[in-house]
């Protein structure tokens, strides 16, 4: 029996990268997963490779109406909404003096407003069901990272948001926790490597791995393993926590 047998999950930004790995892991553990992503076709493609009754859907988490509709559809289609993973994310890196209002706002919209809209929409169904698991994907950038004033602010904000959700929703059987990944090899870090002038991603990844105590870069599956723990029934007494999945210690 899978660790999420009979559970219905919604994972945002799940067409590729970390979100897709979480969707795969959850489906492999018996969950029916709504694979939601800005790129609806890619989301459908990812969902088609999953076992069970998972499906893909187009969703812009920064669009409140779209969030309300997709969350409602997911809860109706699967009969409940037990697990929400706020994973959708973007980077628009720049040094502070060059950062535009648009770069600041778009990162806030996706990470912070997006997680807020999704949690507010989902908690209704979780409260009704007397059960819920919310997992927010933060980052080691929450501790500060050059070129990421917008992103590090959003990822630190998500940690405060997570703790507040834990305080408010615990009495309804709902836990909220955050996973804060370090360097994970995905399209997002390929974009970072290109921005920093690396033509060869492997060279960038090898340099990053040298700074990581376990001696390798992270894989999307490493984050999925941490998300699965928080999403599972057995984690019912753990709420408001931030787990750094970074191959070494972080504050």
Stretch that binds ligand NAD, among 55-63, 165-173, 201-209, 230-238 (CB under 6 A): 55-63
The minimum distance between CB 181 and ligand NAD, in angstroms, equals: 4
Residue 37 touches ligand NAD, criterion: CB under 6 A = yes
Q: Which residue has the tokens 């590090």?
A: 152
Q: Give me the phi and psi of 134, to 5 degrees please.
A: -110, 130
Count the site residues for ligand NAD by CB under 6 A. Answer: 29
Letters for 148-177 (x = contact with ligand NAD by CB under 6 A, - = none) are ------------------------------
Q: Per-residue x/- mask for ligand NAD, residues 17 to 36, rule CB under 6 A?
A: xxx-----------------
| Nearest-angstrom CA–CA distance, 24 and 22 | 5
Q: Which of residues 94-153 bind ligand NAD (CB under 6 A)?
A: 110, 114, 137, 139
Given 4, 88, 115, 118, the residue binding ligand NAD (CB under 6 A): 88
Cα(205)–Cα(228) distance, rounded to whole angstroms? 25
Question: Facing residues of 182 across strands?
Answer: none
State the nearest-atom distance from the C-beta of 80 to ligand NAD, in Å: 22
The strand pair at 83-86 and 132-137 is best described as: parallel
- Measured from the CB atom, the residue of 45 and 240 that comes closer to ligand NAD is 45
33 within 8 A of 50, measured Cβ to Cβ = yes
Q: Is 39 in the site for ligand NAD (CB under 6 A)?
A: yes
Alpha helices in 49-113 (DSSP H): 64-78, 101-108
Closest separation in Å from C-beta 233 to ligand NAD: 24
Phi and psi (nearest 5°) for 112?
-90, -55
Tokens of 92: 């628009």
- Residues with catalytic annotation? 151
- Residue 238's closest CA among 150, 157, 183, 177? 177
Q: How far is CA 58 from the centre of its chain?
A: 16
Contact set with ligand NAD (CB under 6 A):
12-13, 15-19, 37-39, 59-62, 87-90, 110, 114, 137, 139, 181, 183-184, 186-189
């Amino acid at each position: 029996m899978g660790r999420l047998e009979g559970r219905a999950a919604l994972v945002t930004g799940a067409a590729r990268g970390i979100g897709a790995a979480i969707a795969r892991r959850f489906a492999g553990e018996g969950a029916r997963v709504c694979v939601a992503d800005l790129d609806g076709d890619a989301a459908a493609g990812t969902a088609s490779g999953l076992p069970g009754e998972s499906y893909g859907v187009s969703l812009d988490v920064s669009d409140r109406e779209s969030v309300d509709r997709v969350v409602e559809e997911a809860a109706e289609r699967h009969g409940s909404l037990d697990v929400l993973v706020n994973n959708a994310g973007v980077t628009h890196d720049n040094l502070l003096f060059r950062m535009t209002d648009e770069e600041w706002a778009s990162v806030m919209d996706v990470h912070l407003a997006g997680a807020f809209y999704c949690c507010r929409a989902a908690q209704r169904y979780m409260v009704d069901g007397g059960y819920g698991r919310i997992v927010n994907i933060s980052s080691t950038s929450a501790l500060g990272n050059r070129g990421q004033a917008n992103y590090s602010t959003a990822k630190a904000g998500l940690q405060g948001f997570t703790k507040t959700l834990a305080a408010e929703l615990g009495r309804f059987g709902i836990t909220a926790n955050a996973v804060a990944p370090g360097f994970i090899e995905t399209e997002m870090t390929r974009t970072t490597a290109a921005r920093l002038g690396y033509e060869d991603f492997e060279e960038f990844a090898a340099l990053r791995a040298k700074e990581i105590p376990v001696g390798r870069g992270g894989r999307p599956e490493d984050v999925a393993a941490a998300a699965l723990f928080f999403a599972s029934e057995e984690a019912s007494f753990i709420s408001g926590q931030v787990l750094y999945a970074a191959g070494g210690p972080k504050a």
